[in-house]
Amino acid sequence: MNTCTATAQNTLPRPTRAPASARTVLRLLQQLRHGSLSISLPDGSTQTMGDGRGPHVSVHMHNWKPFGAALKSGDIGFAESYLDGDWTTPQLPALLALLAANRQALDDVIHGSWTGRLFYRIRHLLNRNTKTNSRKNIHAHYDLGNSFYSLWLDGTMNYSSAIFEGDLQQDMQRAQHAKVRRALHMAGVQQGQRVLEIGCGWGALAEKATVEFGAHITGVTLSTEQLAWAQQRLAALGMDSRADLRLQDYRDIHDGPYDAICSIEMLEAVGREYWPTYFQSAARLLKPGGRACIQSIVIKDSLFDRYIRSTDFIQQYIFPGGCLPCPSEFRREARAAGLQVVDELAFGRDYAETCRRWRADFLARKDEVLALGFDERFIRIWEFYLAYCEAGFEAGDIDVVQYTLAR
pLDDT at 321: 77
Burial of residue 223 (number of CB atoms within 10 Å: 0-12, 13-18, 19+):
buried
Same domain flag for 246 and 371: yes
Same domain flag for 276 and 188: yes
pLDDT at 70: 87
Same domain flag for 200 and 326: yes
Asked if the model's pLDDT at residue 138 lies above 70, the reply is no
Over residues 188-201, the mean pLDDT reads 98
What are φ and ψ of residue 270, in 5° steps?
A: -70, -40
Structural domain containing residue 83: 20-112
Is-contact 219 193, C-beta < 8 A? no
Same domain flag for 256 and 392: yes
pLDDT at 142: 58
Q: Given 84, 112, 140, which residue is the final one in a domain?
A: 112
Same domain flag for 308 and 183: yes
Give a yes or no: residue 9 inside a domain: no
pLDDT at 120: 38
Give the residue ranges of DSSP H helices in 239-347.
Answer: 275-285, 301-309, 313-317, 327-336
pLDDT tens track for 95-123: 999 988 887 767 655 554 433 343 333 34
Same domain flag for 137 and 108: no
Asked if the model's pLDDT at residue 136 lies above 70, the reply is no
Query: What CATH number did the domain enclosing 251 receive?
Result: 3.40.50.150
Give a yes or no: residue 11 inside a domain: no
Give a yes or no: residue 331 inside a domain: yes
Nearest to 293 by CA among 401, 378, 164, 207: 401
To which H or E segment does residue 349 belong?
Answer: helix 348-364
Distance set, CA 326 to CA 246, 272, 330 (Å): 30, 11, 6
Give a yes or no: residue 326 inside a domain: yes
Give a yes or no: residue 15 inside a domain: no
Burial of residue 272 (number of CB atoms within 10 Å: 0-12, 13-18, 19+):
middle
pLDDT at 36: 93
Same domain flag for 218 and 351: yes
Q: How many CA atoms lie within 13 A of 105 on its CB side?
A: 19
- Give the burial string for 308-320 (b: 16+ CB within 10 Å, else e): eebbbbbbbbbbb
Over residues 88-96, the mean pLDDT reads 95
Give a yes or no: residue 10 inside a domain: no
Give a yes or no: residue 119 inside a domain: no
Distance set, CA 401 to CA 90, 95, 183, 404 (Å): 31, 25, 11, 10
pLDDT at 111: 52
Asked if the model's pLDDT at residue 133 lies above 80, the reply is no
Same domain flag for 242 and 279: yes
What is the pLDDT confidence band of residue 381, given thresholds at 50, 70 and 90?
Answer: very high
Over residues 303-318, the mean pLDDT reads 83
Same domain flag for 67 and 210: no
What is the pLDDT confidence band of residue 399, given thresholds at 50, 70 and 90?
Answer: very high
pLDDT tens track for 214-232: 999 999 999 999 999 999 9
Q: Given 112, 143, 158, which residue is the final one in a domain?
A: 112
Give a yes or no: residue 334 inside a domain: yes
Per the structure, the count of domains in the chain is 2
pLDDT tens track for 339-356: 999 999 999 999 999 999
Q: Given 81, 112, 143, which residue is the final one in a domain?
A: 112
Any idea which residues carry the catalytic annotation? 389
Same domain flag for 98 and 211: no
Distance set, CA 329 to CA 300, 336, 389 (Å): 11, 10, 21
